[in-house]
Chains A and B, each alone.
Chain A
Amino acid sequence: MALYDNAHWLLSHIRDSFISTDDTGLCEIVMAKDDIPRELYESGSVYVYPGAEDSDEEDLDALSDSYDILMDMEFSHRARTNTAQRLEKMDLEKKRAAKIKHIKWENPQSMSSEEQQEMFNRKELHTDKPLAKQKSLFSEMLEKCPDLPKNPFTDYAKFDGNLQIGVPIRKYRIFMCMLPKELRAYPFQVMVLATAKVQEFIGYICYKYTSEHPNTHIHEDISKYGLYITEDDGEIDWDFPCLDPTEVISKFEFSTLGLVEMKPSDKARHKTTKVINQPLEERESIDKTPEDAAKDLAKMQIHTTAMEAPQYQLYRVYIINKVRAKIEVHLGISGDKIEIDPVNTGKGASKFWMRQRAVSYHIDNVAWCELGEQKGSKTTFTLVYTPHNNLTLDGFNVSLARSQSFRRSASFKNYDFEAGTVVAEEIVSKINHILQLRSSSSRKEYIAQKERKALRRKSFHIHR
């Protein structure tokens, strides 16, 4: 690098590197007073690197005169190649294999009958039983070992990382923060299967702690506890939520964690209750009959259509104008507008009653969309809209349209379309999904108006 021969630059770079890579901030405190590069620069005793003078005095903070300092956590370690790792593994295997004595089956050699007699000599069996009463050592040990209080967490014993071979495990230092002060001064080491869920890990911690300290009371309901990121001295970092109980523990790279009894408020915050129910749901899903599965799929289908509704889609439909003439148009529907474009084909395109202007409506101007009657394979559908400012292409116009529609009620107009039944249904559901999402003022107004009408009709019936 060109500047490596510049003493001033090197000095200031070293200084900045120290300050910026030291997380404890100690370097900064130590070096705050003596900014040697700055002093040198001000005294003019060294050749200042180019550009240093240009920097604004105001901005000349600690880091302004350095190149980007890369925060490389791995320092100078070069990642080992896969080959190297594999070679090492093979080497270990070889060493291990060398310790094992291998004995291959050898087909029997002929054996002299004497040898055979001697080797497989029949033992005389004593049928008379020993009269002296005997007891087994195991029975005695079992009797001496009183029935241990059953560890309520034994179900989690299988997550013990110490007892597993050939499966990935993780080591953590755990502070038992929910215990009285004198018991939680030191973390305890826990080895757990890397595949265990956080919830299962908590269970295993409880199991291990209870088996080592049988007199400590730990709640049997482990959902009360949460694992929190903890400093090396056992101080909980409350800025972070507890580890998600459904996640696999190996996802979290922390070596020190704290087990904390959560208050109901914490629990609500982390939604752990939801988590506990989840395995049940999973089990249910397994037990589901094909019918249920089909229902679920249908539900998912609805969900997907709703999700995809705002995506732009072009349909070819017929618009039915005032004189009941059908004109083929492109109906473009997207999350923020609906466009109607005539398709100029056929002989009638030039006739005036067959003319259809290309229009575009902002989706907030669209109030309603519903299916009409079905004729054979065709179905009509109606689009209700507020006609003013139908070219609402920018934000200003949109707001104008809104304010106007507030003042001028009952000014709804509608378009009638006709399309194949399937297409019509698809369009209507798509538009309705979008409208539900937006719930614009014109839609609200239209619905309110509809209700008023219905009410009036009702009251009319009553008063009759």
Chain B
Amino acid sequence: MSTEVNNVTSNIAAAAAAAAAASPSASVTPANDPVIFVTGGYDHTIKIWQAHSGICQRTLQHIDSQVNALAITPTKHIVAAAGYQHIRMYDLNSTNPNPIINYEGISKNVSTLGFQEHGKWMYTGGEDCSARIWDLRSSNFQCQRIFQVSAPVNCVALHPNQAELIVGDQSGVIHLWDLRSDHNEQLIPETESSIQDVSINADGTYLAAVTNKGHCFVWALTGGSGDEKTKLNPRHRIQAHKGYGLKCEFSPDSTLLVTTSADQTARVWKTADFSETLVLQHEAKRWVWDLAFSADSQYLFTASSDSIARLWSLTTGEVKREYQGHQKVVSALAFRDTMIPVS
């Protein structure tokens, strides 16, 4: 995997190198931090934290826009932020508070984004009713792709086979977009609702979606490898939350599913039988906007409207750390971890 990453001469690497050369203070390129935790919010900043201590290390400027979504590249040296009409990329290894690359030419808000597993391309979805694939290789927009739907796109998830996108829109339609063949399929889990988030587990065996009515739908996936078409088989329909659903995500080990909501909670479900195991709620009682797992599925980060990001233990359900420093709502977060073998 590492050789493949190095072979990709991406825009990002070039821009980062240029930025490093420009500022003498950052001339020594430090090793990429193996653990990165970033949060972004309505205060137009992105903060980089020392995840285990809760100390804010740096603040990046995200001018003129709130941060809708954050993603860290697989190489861990860039953080990308989705905002109003822009996707901005920041170098994590320099002290530069400004973006190094600005992706533009989109109307309205970009609501979600993510990376192909080797950082070859980036996918985004936004209020302009489209999902896009951005080629990250320099001087080559060969694989630039666009997929248009009839309603604003709320969420996009990449199938672990790296060749299919699951796009959820505001009119309640889930689209399966096969990037290789451009073939696509639609699915409406319930009428008159909006798909807020979709997630596929690491094995590609489950797909989950949350709606604005607080429902969580789970499908078992079959196919998806080789030339076989991915098929969705409905499995569960859970009344997960009383209020607006916001996010859902499978844990890296696929044993848990977490949903967050405007009902001020994050709920943890066991994938074995989709029963509720934990309700994560704190005194502040505010919307829970975003979440991320530690690589070993032991801890969960949440972003909340009370301008604090929290770390929860998934075994005990208690708050382990609070990340304070944002002035306003924390609307997005991203986390990258490293697995280490246990002797």
Contacts and interface: CB of A to CB of B under 8 A. Distances in A.
A120 interface: yes
Given A108-B144, A163-B325, A135 B160 contact: no
Q: Which of A106, A124, A137, A147 has the most CB of B within 10 A?
A: A137
Contact of B337 (A124, A127, A136, A158): A136
B25 interface: no
B39 to A, nearest CB: 12
A100 B142 contact: no
Secondary structure call for the B interface? loop
A117 B205 CA distance: 23
B224 interface: yes
B340 A140 contact: yes
A136 B338 contact: yes
B35 A137 contact: yes
B294 A139 contact: yes
B162 A122 contact: yes
B258 to A, nearest CB: 16
A79 to B, nearest CB: 28
Contact of B143 (A111, A124, A139): A111
Contact of A105 (B103, B163, B342): B103
B193 to A, nearest CB: 30
Interface string A100-120: 111111111101000111011
B298 interface: yes
Contacts of A144: 52
Contacts of A123: 117, 160-163
B296 A136 contact: yes
A306 interface: no
Contacts of A29: none
Contact of B146 (A107, A121, A140, A141): A107
Given A121-B180, A123-B162, A136 B295 contact: yes
Interface in A130-177: 132-142, 144-145, 147-148, 154-155, 157-158, 160, 162-166
A135 B45 contact: no
B97 A142 contact: no
A44 to B, nearest CB: 67
Contacts of B106: 105
B180 A116 contact: yes
User: B interface, how many residues as a size bin?
Assistant: 35 or more
Nearest to A128: B203
Contacts of B226: 122, 124
A133 B342 contact: yes
B331 interface: no
Given A139-B296, A158-B325, A119 B142 contact: yes
Contacts of A108: 141, 143-146
Given A101-B11, A120-B162, A136 B102 contact: no
B273 interface: no
Contact of A125 (B22, B121, B143, B203): B203
Contact of B104 (A102, A125, A133, A148): A102
A127 B117 CA distance: 17
A169 B139 CA distance: 41
B299 A101 contact: no
B53 A148 contact: yes
Contacts of A125: 160-161, 203-204, 224-225
Interface of B: 11, 15, 18-19, 22, 34-35, 44-45, 47, 51-56, 59-61, 63, 96-106, 117, 120-121, 132, 134, 141-146, 160-163, 179-180, 203-205, 224-226, 294-296, 298-299, 307, 311, 320-322, 324-327, 335, 337-342
Given A121-B163, A134-B339, 11 more contacts: A102-B102, A105-B132, A108-B143, A120-B179, A125-B224, A132-B341, A136-B338, A142-B51, A142-B320, A147-B320, A166-B44
7 contacts: A102-B102, A103-B104, A108-B143, A139-B296, A158-B307, A158-B324, A163-B47
